[in-house]
């Protein structure tokens, strides 16, 4: 039988007498990480949510990324879902210096399959995946930084039309660090996925609130978009002034400001 030796300085649960390493661990032991996917806020709930994960390591050398903690927030920075995640394979490197995750945190954590199902259901919001479209519907807009990696580790599939990734948005791609755009430091020391959710949501809201002139056909892929000039119109373009060319030009990416114009 294994004997545990505890420090007299460790906080102790007054109910079961369990020893915890910190008061934060004691709080989570007593009330748990907030898990409230059925939050109030009207029948539809929040329509824009941010997702962030913290990865632990798996495999023989600990280099395989496994989701160890996940957070989901709304556009008002309220926590919707926050939980430690028990990976499907053994963890060989907890990366404590940056994740703050210890083995005991994952021992009784929510299994990854259950986390996957709950987040997927919340994002789709009752709408079948094949019916989700860019505008309208009940599915929620998903905001994050490097979402391809997070969704892959969670084994979640989601329609690209509903994803807003700050790592891929052209106006933000001049820097690889969120802190450069936010003007304050994040991801230093032990990192909390909630902080990442707040950071990406603030960036998204800032970009969405940009005031641009309304365009009838904002996407370069729209067939009516006058960016799609036929070769025989080259001479017409050459006769235009810079002001005239600016007047008919369109962005070659979807501007997030249209999320507020076309819900």
Q: Is the pLDDT of residue 15 over 80?
A: no
Residue pair 70/53 in contact (Cβ under 8 Å)? The answer is yes
Query: With a threshold of 0.75, does the pTM exceed it?
Result: no
Query: What CA dihedral angle connects 241, 242, 247 and 251, to 10 degrees?
Result: 140
Confidence (pLDDT) at 84: 95
Residue 129 domain flag: yes
| 147 and 62 in a common domain | yes
| 214 and 170 in a common domain | no
* Band of residue 94 on the pLDDT scale cut at 50, 70, 90: very high
3-state DSSP call for residue 51?
strand
- Percent of the chain predicted with pLDDT > 90: 46
Which structure tokens are listed for 171? 């106006």
Q: Containing H/E element for 26?
A: helix 23-31
| 57 and 21 in a common domain | no
Q: How many domains does the chain have?
A: 3
User: What letters, b where the CB count within 10 A reaches 16 and e where it falls short, cover 154-179?
Assistant: bebebbeebbbbbeebeebeeeeebe
| 244 and 180 in a common domain | no
Which structure tokens are listed for 112? 């990854």
Domain span at residue 55 reads 37-207
> Alpha-carbon distance 240 to 165, whole Å?
36
| 256 and 157 in a common domain | no
Q: Is the pLDDT of residue 13 over 90?
A: no
Residue 203 domain flag: yes
What value does the mean pLDDT take over residues 118-141?
92
- Average pLDDT over the chain reads 78
Range with the largest mean pLDDT of 29-38, 79-88, 189-198: 79-88
Per-residue pLDDT tens digits for 146-200: 999 999 999 999 999 999 999 998 888 765 555 445 544 555 557 889 999 999 9
| 50 and 159 in a common domain | yes
What value does the mean pLDDT take over residues 18-32?
58
Residue pair 113/67 in contact (Cβ under 8 Å)? The answer is no
Residue 254 domain flag: yes
Residue 2 domain flag: no
Q: What's the distance, Cα to Cα, between the start and end of the chain in Å?
A: 60
Q: What is the DSSP string of 134-192?
A: SSSSSPPEEEESSHHHHHHHHT----GGGEEETTT-GGGTT-S-HHHHHTS--S-SS--
| 44 and 157 in a common domain | yes
Residue 1 domain flag: no
Rg (CA), the chain: 23
| 202 and 243 in a common domain | no
| 120 and 64 in a common domain | yes
Residue 186 domain flag: yes
> Alpha-carbon distance 257 to 206, whole Å?
9
| 109 and 27 in a common domain | no
Residue 119 domain flag: yes
| 182 and 131 in a common domain | yes
Residue 113 domain flag: yes
| 136 and 42 in a common domain | yes
3-state DSSP call for residue 198?
helix
CATH number at 198 reads 3.30.420.10
């Amino acid at each position: 039988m294994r004997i545990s030796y505890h420090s007299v300085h460790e906080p102790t649960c007054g109910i079961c007498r369990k020893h915890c390493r910190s008061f934060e661990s004691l709080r989570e032991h007593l009330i748990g990480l907030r898990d409230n996917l059925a939050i109030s806020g009207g029948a539809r709930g929040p329509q824009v949510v941010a997702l962030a994960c913290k990865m632990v390591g798996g495999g023989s050398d600990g280099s395989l990324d496994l989701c160890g903690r996940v957070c989901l927030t709304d556009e008002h920075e309220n926590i919707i879902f926050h939980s430690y995640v028990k990976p499907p394979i053994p963890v060989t490197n907890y990366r404590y210096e940056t994740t703050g995750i210890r083995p005991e945190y994952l021992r009784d954590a929510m299994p990854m399959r259950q986390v996957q199902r709950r987040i997927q259901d919340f994002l789709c919001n009752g709408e079948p995946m094949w019916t989700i479209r860019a505008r309208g519907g009940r599915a929620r807009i998903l905001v994050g930084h490097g979402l391809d990696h997070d969704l892959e580790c969670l084994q979640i599939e989601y329609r690209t039309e509903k994803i807003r990734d700050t790592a891929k948005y052209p106006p933000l791609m001049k820097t690889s660090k969120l802190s450069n755009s936010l003007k304050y430091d994040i991801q230093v020391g032990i990192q909390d996925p909630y902080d990442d959710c707040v950071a990406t949501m603030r960036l998204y809201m800032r970009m969405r609130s940009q005031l641009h002139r309304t365009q009838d056909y904002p996407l370069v892929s729209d067939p009516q978009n006058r960016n799609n000039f036929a070769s025989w119109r080259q001479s017409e373009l050459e006769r235009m002034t810079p002001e005239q060319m600016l007047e008919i030009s369109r962005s070659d990416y979807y501007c997030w400001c249209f999320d507020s114009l076309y819900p």
